Structure 1
Amino acid sequence: MKEPGQYLAQALRSRRQTKGWSLDQASRHTGVSKAMLGQIERGESSPTVATLWKIATGFGAALSDFLEPPALDDDSAVRQTDELRHRPAVDAMLVASLFPYDAALGFEMFELTLMPGYTRSSEPHAPGVIEHVVLLRGGMELLIDGQWKPLQAGDAIRFAADRPHGYRNPGLEPAVFHNLIHYPPPR
């Protein structure tokens, strides 16, 4: 597998070319500056997770589309979380793409690790996107409808992710959770 930054650069360039977009057009659709998009495509810059989400949303794509190549056709292949876990951006968040986006199933699933003190605000995803969070270890808070909701290990929550939301770890230990993101069928 390519290094995450190398794959991101190739995936962004390929998606942009497939759509026939210039860097200016991609910037308008994603809300990410032309300069930053160019730096990412050249492998000169590592974006934040928030920027990765803006890019994915602007392209009408799943986040995992920019993190790793599509899964092989072997549905029964065992995926080792420890081998998948990496830091795809400059943030203090580790990501393991457990199940990359599959259009037939309409979802992608991650293991996410928030380091102590980490906070991330997320802009709304595309209309109809729903997130499912299951906290495995540690404690964290989710920003939903303007309120921070505390979660402890074993808690599970589902929420509409097509509005502003956020994640934070106010504790002293990493918070590890599964995040299943469901996308509505294309119209």
Structure 2
Amino acid sequence: MTDEASHLNERIAQRVRELRAARGLSLDALAAHCGVSRSMISLIERGESSPTAVVLEKLATGLGVALASLFEPPRAGDDPVARLADQPLWRDPHSGYVRRNVSPAGGASPIQIVEVAFPPKARVAYETGAREPRIHQQVWVLENTIEVTVGDACHRLDAGDCLAHALDRPVSYHNPTRHLTRYAVVIATLPSPWR
């Protein structure tokens, strides 16, 4: 494992521990709530696992946060600028997609931006469910094509297209082409009830 990947796994470990403690959840309670085994959560919290995006999304759903929140430093600063060199890159060990958290870390804004490089023919499916507070996202394709399925509706998005949806049902991504697809995800955490 590279030093950068090891550092990011430790960041994820600290963040999951911090969020779990803030919610007063034991390992067993979080495991029951999100469908990830207690032993896997323990490995993640010790930085001894390279979890897939699907596992991390289940944890995020169980903790009531957006997936992007798991990549933030545990004690984010108040700096309103996120320098490119400080934006963490993470590669999903299953699909090979690479995500970069673009937004400054911390709770100063209810909006997060993530850039994704999605490999040719890759797929990833999340068993996302509703969270409190509600989380909405928009997927804006920067280059090439991606198919995004939200619940039962499949949307083929080409460069320049944008899809808005709530994170309250299963979502899957598929790059049907032979070329890398790049897209941005803008995530907004909204107070409930949202109108």
TM-score range, shorter chain: 0.7 to 0.9
| Preserved CA contact (<8 Å) 2:144 2:158 | yes
4+ residue segments displaced more than 3 Å: 100-105
CA distance in 1, matches of 2:111, 2:129: 13
1:74 aligned to 2:79? yes
Question: CA 1:105–1:18 in 2, change beyond 3 Å: closer, same or farther?
Answer: closer
What is the deviation of 1:181?
Answer: 1.4
CA distance in 2, matches of 1:144, 1:21: 29
Matches within 5 A, 1:51-70: 51-69=55-73
- Deviation string 1:80-131 (CA, Å, 9 cap, x unpaired) is 2x76352254231111101156545322110011111111112234354221
Question: CA 1:16–1:159 in 2, change beyond 3 Å: closer, same or farther?
Answer: closer
TM-score (norm 1): 0.86
What is the deviation of 1:58?
Answer: 0.7
Amino acid in structure 1 at the alignment position of 2:121: G
| Preserved CA contact (<8 Å) 1:85 1:94 | no
Aligned to 1:175: 181
Q: Which secondary structure state, in structure 1, belongs to the residue aligned with residue 89 of structure 2?
A: coil
Aligned residues: 185
What is the deviation of 1:134?
Answer: 0.7
Q: Which secondary structure state, in structure 2, belongs to the residue aligned with residue 32 of structure 1?
A: coil
Aligned to 2:89: 86
| Preserved CA contact (<8 Å) 1:5 1:88 | no
Of the candidates 137, 142, 145, which is equivalent to residue 131 of structure 1?
Answer: 137
Question: CA 1:100–1:119 in 2, change beyond 3 Å: closer, same or farther?
Answer: farther
What is the deviation of 1:163?
Answer: 1.5
Of the candidates 13, 20, 23, which is equivalent to residue 16 of structure 1?
Answer: 20
Aligned to 1:162: 168
| Preserved CA contact (<8 Å) 1:7 1:67 | yes
CA distance in 1, matches of 2:151, 2:38: 32
**Quick one: percent identity of the two aligned structures?**
31
Aligned to 1:4: 8
Amino acid in structure 1 at the alignment position of 2:176: P
Q: Which secondary structure state, in structure 2, belongs to the residue aligned with residue 170 of structure 1?
A: coil
Q: Which secondary structure state, in structure 2, belongs to the residue aligned with residue 72 of structure 1?
A: coil
Question: CA 1:93–1:100 in 2, change beyond 3 Å: closer, same or farther?
Answer: farther
Unaligned runs of 5+ residues in structure 1 are none
TM-score (norm 2): 0.83
| Preserved CA contact (<8 Å) 1:101 1:107 | no
- Deviation string 1:6-58 (CA, Å, 9 cap, x unpaired) is 11111122222333322111111221100110111122211111111111111
